[in-house]
């Protein structure tokens, strides 16, 4: 973490490398919770304006407050009043912006889940460093960018450092999903509905009537509706269909097995 009071390096650069981007992130996300918010956000905006315009900014000044409002309206896509990693990638000019490459590779939650299924080769519910390297290699090829092993290693390590919230050297589904554009990140919609293993087993057993270890698309839809009603959350039919399609992308030929659904509904990175 950078020293307090010391200006952030790199903010003035026309293009950042992946590791410089990460240094900036760490400098401002001082509590390491995965967001730049509150005082961190004020400091970020102040330093960004100074670096770009060469003039100091007082966030308490009325004109500055208005500027900050405009800035947030433009970049805070989900309007939650804070900046997350994928939003910062839109603000800062990252070298060959590898985060934006990811967007070209997986434009929707369904594509993301299909990619997850492909690369979580051992079905552990996590993507380890070696699986992540394959994932990024394919991603860059799909975006017509080819890199040597050294660069690929740098990107793999950078992504791990950015998104591996609990530092276990691998990415869980909800950690990896932070690469998605906020509007597409359907896993965020399940925040607050995380189930314990016991709750999950009970609900899965209820819908897996014949006990064969998997449920189909219609059963999944009923299960999700049930889950939302029990948690007093409203969900419209269109959104429900999107969540269902995204989760079914994890399935094996229309059969959604217990372990695959468990990854979505139970597992949360330990902060």
- Cα separation of 187 and 167, whole Å? 20
Find which of 58-67, 110-119, 205-214 is predicted with most confidence, using mean pLDDT: 205-214
Mean pLDDT of 93-116: 66
What pLDDT is recorded for position 107? 61
Q: Where are the CATH 1.10.238.10 domain residues in the chain?
A: 18-91, 97-182, 186-265
pLDDT band at 205 (very low <50, low <70, confident <90, very high): very high
CB atoms within 10 A of CB 34: 18
**Is the pLDDT score of 167 beyond 70?**
yes
Do residues 244 and 220 make contact, with C-beta atoms less than 8 angstroms apart?
yes
> 115-154: per-residue pLDDT in tens?
788 888 777 778 888 888 888 887 777 667 667 888 888 8
Tell me which of 121 and 101 has the higher pLDDT.
121
Mean pLDDT of 157-177: 78
What pLDDT is recorded for position 62? 64
Do residues 145 and 157 make contact, with C-beta atoms less than 8 angstroms apart?
no
**Is the pLDDT score of 83 beyond 50?**
yes
SS (H, E, C) 185-229: CHHHHHCCCCCCHHHHHHHHHHHCCCCCCEECHHHHHHHHHHHHH
Do residues 191 and 183 make contact, with C-beta atoms less than 8 angstroms apart?
no
Closest C-alpha among 74, 19, 72, 20 to residue 44: 72
**Is the pLDDT score of 69 beyond 50?**
yes
Q: Write the DSSP assignment of 2-39 as a string of letters.
A: PPTTSPPTTTT-SSB-HHHHHHHHHHH-TT-SSEE-TH
Mean pLDDT of 153-173: 80
Q: What residues have CB less than 8 Å from 23, skipping those under 6 apart?
A: 2, 9, 10
Three-class SS state of 270 = coil
- Cα separation of 180 and 177, whole Å? 5
CB atoms within 10 A of CB 58: 11
Burial class (CB in 10 A: 0-12, 13-18, 19+), 197: exposed
Q: How many CA atoms lie within 13 A of 153 on its CB side?
A: 3
Annotation: CATH topology of 97-182: Recoverin; domain 1 (1.10.238)
Do residues 52 and 12 make contact, with C-beta atoms less than 8 angstroms apart?
yes
Residue 164 main-chain phi, psi, to 5 deg: -80, 85
Give the DSSP letter of residue 178.
Answer: G
Q: What residues have CB less than 8 Å from 84, skipping those under 6 apart?
A: 34, 35, 36, 178, 182
What pLDDT is recorded for position 3? 44
Mean pLDDT of 213-233: 84
Q: How many CA atoms lie within 13 A of 233 on its CB side?
A: 15
CATH annotation of 18-91: 1.10.238.10
- Cα separation of 137 and 156, whole Å? 9
What pLDDT is recorded for position 1? 43
Domain formed by 186-265, architecture: Orthogonal Bundle (1.10)
- Cα separation of 139 and 151, whole Å? 14
pLDDT band at 261 (very low <50, low <70, confident <90, very high): confident
**Is the pLDDT score of 269 beyond 60?**
no
**Is the pLDDT score of 2 beyond 50?**
no
Q: What residues have CB less than 8 Å from 183, skipping those under 6 apart?
A: 77, 78
What pLDDT is recorded for position 57? 52
């Amino acid at each position: 973490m950078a020293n307090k009071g010391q200006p952030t390096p790199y903010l003035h650069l026309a293009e950042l490398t992946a590791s410089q981007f990460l240094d900036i992130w760490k400098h401002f996300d001082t509590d390491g919770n995965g967001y730049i918010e509150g005082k961190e956000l004020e400091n970020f905006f102040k330093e960004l304006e100074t670096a770009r315009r060469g003039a100091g900014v007082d966030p308490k000044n009325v004109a500055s407050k208005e500027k900050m409002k405009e800035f947030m309206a433009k970049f805070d896509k989900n309007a939650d009043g804070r900046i997350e990693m994928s939003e910062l990638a839109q603000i800062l000019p990252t070298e060959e912006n590898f985060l934006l490459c990811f967007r070209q590779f997986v434009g929707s939650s369904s594509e993301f889940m299909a990619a997850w299924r492909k690369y979580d080769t051992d079905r552990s519910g996590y993507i380890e460093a070696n699986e992540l390297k394959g994932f990024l290699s394919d991603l860059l090829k799909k975006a017509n960018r080819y890199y040597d092993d050294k660069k690929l290693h740098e990107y793999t390590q950078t992504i791990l450092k950015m998104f591996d919230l609990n530092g276990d050297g691998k990415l869980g589904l909800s950690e990896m999903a932070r690469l998605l554009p906020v509007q597409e990140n359907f896993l965020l919609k399940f925040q607050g509905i995380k189930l314990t293993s016991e709750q999950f087993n009970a609900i899965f057993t209820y819908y897996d009537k014949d006990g064969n270890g998997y449920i189909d698309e219609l059963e999944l839809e009923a299960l999700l509706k049930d889950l939302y009603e029990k948690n007093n959350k409203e969900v419209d039919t269109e959104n429900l269909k999107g969540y269902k399609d995204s989760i079914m992308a994890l399935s094996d030929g229309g059969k959604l097995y217990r372990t695959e659904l468990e990854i979505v509904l139970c597992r949360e990175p330990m902060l």
